[in-house]
Amino acid sequence: MTELVIRNFWWLEVTKKVKKYIEGCNVYQRNNNFITMLLLAQGYDSILVVCNRLTNFVPTTERILAERVARLFRNNVWKLYGLPESIIMDIGAQFVAGMMRELNTMLGINTKLSMAYHPQTDEQTKE
Q: What CATH code is carried by the domain that includes residue 90?
A: 3.30.420
The more confidently predicted of residues 4 and 15 is 15
Is the pLDDT confidence value at 126 over 60? no
Count of structural domains, the chain? 1
Res 89: pLDDT: 75
The range of the structural domain enclosing residue 66 comes to: 2-121
What is the residue type of 60? T
Which residues are within 8 A (CB) of 55 and not within 5 positions of it... i.e. 6 or more apart?
Answer: 1, 4, 49
In a domain, 106, yes or no: yes
Is residue 91 a contact partner of residue 33, using CB atoms and an 8 Å limit?
yes
Please state whether the predicted TM-score (pTM) of the whole model is above 0.75.
no
Structure confidence by residue, pLDDT tens digits, 38-59: 888 888 888 888 877 677 788 8
Residue type, position 20, single letter? K
6 assigned to some structural domain: yes
